[in-house]
Structure 1
Amino acid sequence: MTGPAEVRCALMRGGTSKGAYFLAGDLPDDPAARDDLLLRIMGSPDPRQIDGLGGAHPLTSKVAVVSASADPDADVDYLFLQVAVERPEVNDRQNCGNILAGVGPFAVERGLVAPADGETSVRIRMLNTGERAVATFPTPGGRVDYTGDAEISGVPGTAAPVVIEFPAADVPLLPTGNVRDTVAGTEVTCVDNGMPTVLIPAAALGVSGYEPPGDLEEDLALADRLRDIRLAAGKLMGLGDVEHATVPKLTLLAPPRSGGAVTTRTFIPVRCHTSIGVLGAASVAAGLRLPGGVGEGIAVLPEHGDRVRIEHPTGFLDIDTDVDPRGPKVRRTAVVRTARKIFDGTVFPRAAASARPEGGNDGSAPR
């Protein structure tokens, strides 16, 4: 596959992730050709992604594809693509709530949505799952303003707030129909409030839940347990064979240490997240509010209000979640994120394999 020699692209930080944002019309229509092009743009497969935009980590190897929506209830469509770092894989089986934070500003920057003078709200349809979100952000004078006083853990400095509200979804909050399941010999709660997530008491896996992400990644016995749980839970949640998928996420729960509701360590799926994804946190927050879930006796929920503070390795994330336990169903979910445009211009993808000259350096060793 060849594809264009250059592509218009914006690199943006969305929440605690970073990714390349494209208009759908600037990429090939054929998914296989599109994915091949994105692998070459991001520099995959390569552990350093040295020849592309990727940052050698799943959190910085992400792509948003945005287009005007034909749906009368949405302004734009957003397709999230996770580009693997060390494998030639592009995955579209999940949403990303952090990259979502940049979709509204990007849509205004590209002229897909006319901004208001003051603040602009963009209705977003997430094509990965069909779910919806509304992002509201400052646009003084009709221009996106990325500066502000909002601060989120895991990101240096401050920026303008992007308030993201998620309408109640039609998917079951409990995909298995149970508030607790025994999966691979471990009691868990399987929940989906925007992201299929398996909640697991950290102590049940022989860890505290306070370990640094790197230490957890190096625990081979833990990795084996998590793999068994994920594969079994995937089938139980109706996701089928998840051997090569990035869902469901696995979140270990431990009592809070810094005034929040719970401490978390989340795997995506084998790397331990240095923070937590927005939609993953939304699922955790909803799961904690379910009577009889595995979070009981671990989480310390606030006595009043909908806000749940989720502690993670680099700080916390606040989620407003209103759950009706009789359904159970979620009535409202909202979160404050920030986003920043890093550059806007043209990216030049690595040449396709078929376009490389014969006898050239294959990159296997420096010369």
Structure 2
Amino acid sequence: MAQTAIPFLFMRGGTSRGPYFRREDLPSERDSLERVLVAALGSGHPLNIDGIGGGTAVTTKVAMLSPSKEPGCDVDYFFAQVSVADRKVDFKPTCGNILSGVGPAAIELGILPATGDVTRVRIHSVNTAAKVEAIVQTPGGTVSYEGDAAIDGVPGTAAPVYLNFMDVVGSTTGALLPTGNLTDDIDGITVTCMDVAMPIVIARAEAFGLSGYETVEELDSNRAFYARMEPIRRKAGLLMGMGDVSSSVVPKFALLAPPRAGGTIAARYFMPLNCHPTMAVTGAQCLASCVLTPGTVADQLATLPEGIPALVKIEHPGGMIDVTVDYETSAKGFTLKSAGLLRTARLLARGEVLVPSIGL
């Protein structure tokens, strides 16, 4: 069987992993692109045995990069979430963890040069129109992956990648509160529907009879919880103006609980039909904004930080993620100026991924 070779970088970005392609090396037509990504990742089998996916949602993510057409930006970042088992590709969301590798990958792929010992890469997220500045360590004009930065969910240390997110409010729906309300009652559960970097339906863990401190394995084995949560997520999607979301991974879902490890809030983040092993970068920004917005489901749960910018520390199954939030509150409500996070990335392999040529 003839196969087509496609050059790629295989990278860990934050707590996710996947291939990074040049957009020009992939089909421009959407149906053909989906077939290529399904074949490359091996979607259609729980282990992705016939591709380079890792059998979980955090290891079946794809970044496609190109020189940016957006004024003031260096690189366009087009994200795809490939499903593990059902041969589907969702282009609606973005991924902040995979974004952690976009700056290093863009330099490695020759999309822009290193500009000294530190290179600022201005990224345009094609999926959400958000703009992000990534600060990449490039001593001697070469991307460095070695350093002392550590993030929970990844063993060891690596070079830091600083991310500064701007223009992320209403990234999908066009509004901070897409339903127009601080809270909504859906099927007897009070939720906050918020859209900052990622639209999320947020509830208190106790509303589902949960502590909010359950492990990923405990939550994923609790199918009764998912059976109750998913109808709420779908109805929330309609209220948020997103239409029928039954076949989409957005909006995501999250549960909140009081902190118990010195953080601001404890959270569990769902993708949406399994629990994230740590925390999504985009999800962290939205949950931090929820914590800082008076009147949401986070009220009385969080240990609020002092000062602005505020350091919001979110406890997750793998540890903690910190979000530095520059914001203001007024009679009009919460206004996000920017959100910053520290992530790491590492180049794992480079070469060509082979996909069947039939049907491409």
With normalisation by structure 1, the TM-score equals 0.93
Contact 2:169 2:336 in 1 (8 A): no
- Displacement after TM superposition at 1:169 (Å): 3.5
Contact 1:190 1:199 in 2 (8 A): yes
Residue 202 (str. 1) matches residue 202 (str. 2):
no
Corresponding residue for residue 326 of structure 2: 322
Counterpart-to-counterpart distance in 1, 2:299 and 2:251: 21
Contact 1:173 1:330 in 2 (8 A): no
Corresponding residue for residue 143 of structure 2: 144
- Displacement after TM superposition at 1:184 (Å): 2.2
Counterpart-to-counterpart distance in 1, 2:49 and 2:223: 28
Q: In terms of mean alpha carbon deviation, does 60-69 or 292-301 score higher?
A: 292-301
Counterpart-to-counterpart distance in 2, 1:353 and 1:257: 54
Corresponding residue for residue 308 of structure 1: 312
**Residue among 338, 344, 347 paired with 2:344:** 338
Corresponding residue for residue 76 of structure 1: 75
Counterpart-to-counterpart distance in 2, 1:354 and 1:182: 47
Counterpart-to-counterpart distance in 1, 2:247 and 2:329: 33
- Displacement after TM superposition at 1:353 (Å): 6.1
Which string of whole-angstrom CA distances, capped at 9 and with x for unpartnered residues, describes residues 249-284 of structure 1? 111001111100111111101111111100000000
Residue 260 (str. 1) matches residue 282 (str. 2):
no
Distance 1:170 1:153, change over 3 A: closer
Q: In terms of mean alpha carbon deviation, does 121-130 or 163-172 score higher?
A: 163-172
Counterpart-to-counterpart distance in 2, 1:354 and 1:199: 41
Distance 1:27 1:95, change over 3 A: same
Counterpart-to-counterpart distance in 2, 1:145 and 1:319: 24
5 Å matches for 1:239-250?
239-250=242-253
5 Å matches for 1:61-210?
61-169=60-168, 171=170, 172-210=175-213
Distance 1:59 1:169, change over 3 A: closer
Contact 2:74 2:123 in 1 (8 A): yes
- Displacement after TM superposition at 1:170 (Å): 5.5
SS of the aligned residue for 2:305 comes to coil
Corresponding residue for residue 48 of structure 1: 47
- Displacement after TM superposition at 1:299 (Å): 1.0
Which string of whole-angstrom CA distances, capped at 9 and with x for unpartnered residues, describes residues 275-328 of structure 1? 110000000000100111110111111223411000000101000112323343
Percent identity reads: 43
**Residue among 256, 280, 291 paired with 1:288:** 291
Corresponding residue for residue 218 of structure 1: 221
- Displacement after TM superposition at 1:354 (Å): 6.1
Contact 1:93 1:128 in 2 (8 A): yes
SS of the aligned residue for 2:55 comes to coil
Distance 1:170 1:221, change over 3 A: closer
Distance 1:354 1:177, change over 3 A: closer
SS of the aligned residue for 2:103 comes to helix
- Displacement after TM superposition at 1:239 (Å): 1.1
With normalisation by structure 2, the TM-score equals 0.95
- Structure 2: runs of 5 or more not aligned: none
Aligned length: 353
Q: Which one-letter code corresponds to 1:86 in the other structure?
A: A
Counterpart-to-counterpart distance in 2, 1:341 and 1:237: 38
Corresponding residue for residue 26 of structure 2: 27
Counterpart-to-counterpart distance in 2, 1:243 and 1:69: 32
Q: Which one-letter code corresponds to 2:315 in the other structure?
A: E
- Displacement after TM superposition at 1:114 (Å): 1.5
- Structure 1: runs of 5 or more not aligned: 356-367
* Cα RMSD after superposing both structures: 1.5
Corresponding residue for residue 360 of structure 1: none
Counterpart-to-counterpart distance in 2, 1:253 and 1:134: 29
Which runs of 4 or more aligned residues in structure 1 lie more than 6 Å from their structure 2 counterparts after TM superposition? none
Distance 1:23 1:354, change over 3 A: closer
Contact 2:4 2:357 in 1 (8 A): no
Contact 1:184 1:232 in 2 (8 A): no
Counterpart-to-counterpart distance in 2, 1:216 and 1:76: 38
Q: In terms of mean alpha carbon deviation, does 298-307 or 55-64 score higher?
A: 298-307
SS of the aligned residue for 1:6 comes to strand
Counterpart-to-counterpart distance in 2, 1:111 and 1:260: 40
Counterpart-to-counterpart distance in 2, 1:239 and 1:324: 28
